[in-house]
Amino acid sequence: MDHRHINNLWVNELLLALSDLGVDIGFLTKGVKGIQGRRLLVGEQLDLVEARTLWHRAVSTSDREHLGVEVGRRLSPRSSGLLFPLLLHSPSVRTGMELLVRYQSLISENGRFRFVEATENNVVALEYLPAQSSVAVHLQHVLSVITATLKNISLISAGGTKARLLHLPAGAEDVEGVARILKCPAVSVGERYIVELDNTAIDAVITGRDEHLYQLLLGYADGLSRAQRVGQGFLDHVKSHMDGNDLVRLDIDTLAKAVGFKKRTLQRHLDEQGTSFRKLKEGLLKEKVLELLVVQQLPTEQIVEVLGYADVSTLHRAFKAWFGVTPGQFKSQIGS
């Protein structure tokens, strides 16, 4: 199991939960090449833009007011891959939380947890920080992550560690309903996602844990995390040579020469990271197009000029191949 497979598990458990809640998976995944038969194929993963687009589509088509919380409650611990058994065999709940903070990126690149200062002495506070992207994260997406995390913490603590207070950004809808379902007070103020948990028993030994298994899992997680960092460093280096205004016309021969590899060597290294020149180029173009379309609100005619597409119809064809819809339809789906 590598970090791509863990992401794959999370996506498939998410699709299963959404399907159980009556969401049309075919509509959600329109344009996502790695999904067949309502499942993400082994070895494939969603990029951040695709994952967030999926959530915007889900919310726009579902009549469930608390879709994120309902999904989070339905997600199996299996969706966390290696991480859940590692938490389950940790020395204590506190250590489990520390491991969650350290290894969250093995599950998803949507965001990460960090410890922050709590409002009271008898609580520990975790903040969820969504990653930067041209597609904003939906509140329901974050609520699914927080709910699943609270569920896992409850499982490893045998129900002993409970949420005391949930902070959601100002403007969050039906905070009282979220609080009622999670059985935890919630407030809507500021811009942050913070959950405060009771810390009175978080240093107690987790019942039934196995130290030998814990050490094995910890070593495995460390190895995956190191491989992920090394791989991401390599991909960032390659992408730094792609991130120019002539990206539309860039070919692999030109890129290989720029990074100092033979074409075949570059292809092999990219394949080892579960990607390819085409996927990298497509991902960068998607980010650039969405930055101009959604964030800067530029018309497609101007985007064509900025990025160097031949004409508007060429951009529209590429966009529809990525997302299964036109730029205008995409903006409507994500509420832009």
* Res 243: pLDDT: 82
Asked if residues 92 and 161 have their Cβ atoms less than 8 Å apart, the reply is no
Phi, psi of 40 (to 5 degrees): -80, 125
Does 41 have pLDDT greater than 70? yes
* Res 75: pLDDT: 95
Q: Which two tokens stand for residue 311?
A: 């004409």
Burial class (CB in 10 A: 0-12, 13-18, 19+), 223: exposed
Q: What is the residue extent of each domain of the chain? A: 3-211, 241-333
Q: Tens digit of pLDDT for each residue in 158-171?
A: 999 999 999 999 99
For residue 5, name the pLDDT band (cuts at 50, 70, 90): low
Give the single-character DSSP code of 246: T
For residue 193, name the pLDDT band (cuts at 50, 70, 90): very high
Instruction: Quote the mean pLDDT of the chain.
Output: 93
Asked if residues 133 and 64 have their Cβ atoms less than 8 Å apart, the reply is no
Does 1 have pLDDT greater than 60? no
Question: What's the fold here for domain 241-333?
Answer: Arc Repressor Mutant, subunit A (1.10.10)
Dihedral, CA atoms, 26, 65, 83, 225, nearest 10 degrees? 70
Asked if residues 319 and 290 have their Cβ atoms less than 8 Å apart, the reply is no
Question: How many CA atoms lie less than 13 Å away from 146 in the CB half-sphere?
Answer: 35
pTM here?
A: 0.91
Kindly state which CATH superfamily the domain 3-211 is placed in.
H-NOX domain (3.90.1520.10)
Does 6 have pLDDT greater than 70? no
Does 2 have pLDDT greater than 90? no
Q: Tens digit of pLDDT for each residue in 234-252?
A: 999 999 999 876 899 999 9
Q: How far apart are CA 270 and CA 260, in angstroms?
A: 14
Q: Tens digit of pLDDT for each residue in 211-242?
A: 999 999 999 999 999 999 999 999 999 999 99
* Res 311: pLDDT: 94
Strands, E assignment, 193-267: 193-198
Q: Tens digit of pLDDT for each residue in 286-323?
A: 999 999 999 999 999 999 999 999 999 999 999 999 99
Percentage of the residues of the chain whose pLDDT score is greater than 90? 82
**Block residue for tokens 């250590």:** 95
Does 184 have pLDDT greater than 90? yes
